[in-house]
């Protein structure tokens, strides 16, 4: 059975760190799920790390739903959260409930995530009223960011982010992502909120951590923020495998008998 929002909330109380990772397709989601990630996020980072686009704003409902369905098919144990694309709630807040329900009903997701924007209290309230589980996202919010930089370094900016996080909790979110803010600010938010905080570039005091899978696995090198720790360099390993395959194909070493099918000789003679 998949993790529930109640279980994720209990993890904060029990002081158990929450592990969240992104997935965009079936095989990846299966690996993360079998490796016991607590939450699998279909991030709109899909735009950058899987579709070759230069902004998360450039993916819409069709792309997000398509990938959410693939991920959902694979996940048996983790909580599945889908990022609401920018156009699904920021440009048309009135359509946010209808769009969020598509992630739950059509793609079998358990919850949606939305980033902070000026009308997000209203949108969160509507979603929660419609019984949709919502995860908030404050700090650096990629859908509306103009420049990639740490947020909340000044007291004025930090206070704004703390207030936004509280707003998400008050409107009924079950968790909140804190992106690219000083550890001290994340510590205050984590202490003040009842709901879990999940950090990305927000230091060690959060209740959980998330990374974009392509980043921590070394599959995406177009952008390398300081907060990404690369645990393996899969690009290099894939490159080596491609070189081995190419060499064996070009020299006739592959396919060998072990990887080929044969036919009964008598049958062959009849052809
Ligand atoms: O889109 C995404 O992958 C995200 C994570 C960075 C939290 O929002």
pLDDT tens, N- to C-terminus, the chain (271 residues): 999 999 999 999 999 999 999 999 999 999 999 999 999 999 999 999 999 999 999 999 999 999 999 999 999 999 999 999 999 999 989 999 999 999 999 999 999 999 999 999 999 999 999 999 999 999 999 999 888 899 999 999 999 999 999 999 999 999 999 999 999 999 999 999 999 999 999 999 999 999 999 999 999 988 889 999 999 999 999 999 999 999 999 999 999 999 999 999 999 999 9
* Contact call for residues 235 and 225 (beta carbons, < 8 A): no
Pocket of ligand 1 (CB under 6 A): 22, 43-45, 83, 177, 200, 210, 212
**Contact, 183 vs 201, CB < 8 A?**
no
Residues of the chain with CATH 3.20.20.60: 5-232
DSSP state of 144: T
C-alpha torsion 70→72→77→81, nearest 10: 120
pTM over 0.95: yes
CATH hierarchy code of domain 5-232: 3.20.20.60
Using alpha carbons, select from 52, 56, 27 the residue that is nearest to residue 40.
27
> Pick the catalytic residue: 63, 157, 179, 184?
179
List the residue whose alpha carbon is closest to atom 1 of ligand 1.
43
pLDDT at position 255, please? 98
**Token pair recorded at residue 24:** 């965009």
At 65, list the tokens. Answer: 């739903």
| DSSP bridge partners of 134 | 112
**251 alpha carbon to ligand 1 midpoint, in Å?**
44
| DSSP class of 36 | T
By CB neighbour count within 10 A (0-12 exposed, 13-18 middle, 19+ buried), where does 52 fall?
A: exposed
- pLDDT of 38: 98
What's the 3-state SS for 37-54? CCEEEECCCHHHHCCCCC
Cβ–Cβ under 8 Å, residues 137 and 165: no
Nearest residue (by CA) to ligand 1, atom 8, is 43
Residues 6+ apart with CB under 8 A from 31: none
Ligand 1 nearest-atom number relative to CA 43: 1
Residue 34 among the catalytic residues: no
* C-alpha distance from residue 102 to each of 16, 150, 264, 269 (Å): 31, 33, 53, 58
């Amino acid at each position: 059975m998949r993790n529930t929002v109640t279980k994720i909330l209990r993890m904060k109380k029990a002081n158990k760190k929450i592990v969240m990772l992104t997935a965009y397709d079936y095989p990846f989601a299966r690996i993360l799920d079998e490796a016991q990630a607590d939450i699998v996020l279909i991030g709109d980072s899909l735009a950058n790390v899987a579709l070759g686009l230069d902004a998360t704003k450039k993916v819409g409902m069709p792309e997000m739903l398509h990938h959410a369905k693939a991920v959902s098919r694979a996940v048996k144990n983790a909580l599945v959260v889908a990022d609401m694309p920018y156009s699904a709630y920021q440009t048309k807040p009135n359509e946010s409930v209808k769009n969020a329900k598509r992630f739950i009903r059509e793609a079998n997701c358990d919850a949606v995530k939305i980033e902070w924007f000026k009308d997000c209290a209203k949108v969160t309230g509507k979603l929660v009223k419609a019984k949709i589980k919502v995860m908030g996202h404050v700090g650096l919010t990629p859908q509306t960011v103009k420049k990639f930089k740490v947020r909340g370094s000044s007291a004025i900016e930090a206070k704004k982010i703390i207030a936004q996080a509280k707003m998400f909790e008050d409107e009924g979110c079950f968790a909140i992502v804190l992106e690219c803010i000083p550890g001290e600010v994340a510590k205050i938010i984590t202490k003040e909120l009842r709901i879990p905080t999940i950090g990305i570039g927000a230091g060690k005091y959060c209740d959980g951590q998330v990374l974009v899978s392509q980043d921590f696995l070394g599959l995406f090198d177009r952008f390398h923020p300081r907060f990404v720790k690369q645990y393996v360099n899969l690009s290099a390993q894939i490159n080596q495998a491609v070189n081995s395959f190419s060499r064996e194909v070009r020299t006739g070493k592959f396919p060998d008998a072990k990887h080929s099918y044969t036919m009964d000789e008598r049958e062959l003679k009849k052809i």
